Amino acid sequence: QVQVVESGGGLVQTGGSLRLSCAASGRTFSSFVTGWFRQAPGKEREFIAAVTWSGGDTYYGDSAKGRFTISRDSAKNTVYLQMNNLKPEDTAIYYCAAGVQGDTIVRVSDYSYWGRGTQVTVSS
């Protein structure tokens, strides 16, 4: 079993920055990929970014490109999401997820283990 726990959310003004953390524990594998998703009220869960545990390859959704950066600290089993130039439309619950890397990494169904989420609110 794998557990993932998010932290780092909060309230920030437009243009501000936040760094989210995702700590993984339990039985993890080098073939894992860790992803960040977000879900705003009334909307579907949206892929933000992902990083592979083995090679550190990164992938980004359209809403994250140019503003968000995903990274990992293998020694700490922790993945980070640095979010800059935040906008009110970034307001959502941000979820960390982990799973065995397959052919795709952008779907909710590609991940087996999910955290409870952390709220990010961007005020205008």
* Residue-level pLDDT at 31: 81
Q: How far apart are CA 62 and CA 106, in angstroms?
A: 11
User: For residues 100 and 6, which has the higher predicted lDDT (pLDDT)?
Assistant: 6
How is residue 94 written in tokens? 């941000």
pLDDT digits (tens, 9 = 90+) for 9-35: 999 999 999 999 999 988 777 789 999
What is the C-alpha separation between 72 and 68, in angstroms, rounded?
Answer: 14
Q: Contact, 39 vs 92, CB < 8 A?
A: yes
Q: Using the structure block, give the residue that is written with the tokens 């869960």.
A: 45
Query: What pLDDT was estimated at residue 74?
Result: 87
* Interatomic CA distance for residues 23 and 45, integer angstroms: 20
- Bridge partners (DSSP) of residue 39 are 93
d(CA 49, CA 54): 16
Question: How far out from the chain centre does Cα 64 lie?
Answer: 10
Q: How far is CA 35 from CA 16, 108, 124, in A?
A: 22, 9, 27
Per-residue model confidence (pLDDT) at position 41: 93
pLDDT digits (tens, 9 = 90+) for 69-122: 999 998 899 999 999 999 999 999 999 999 988 889 999 999 999 999 999 999
- Kindly report, residue by residue over 34-79, the tens digit of the pLDDT: 999 999 999 999 999 999 988 889 999 999 989 999 999 988 999 9
* Alpha-carbon span 25 to 5, nearest angstrom: 9
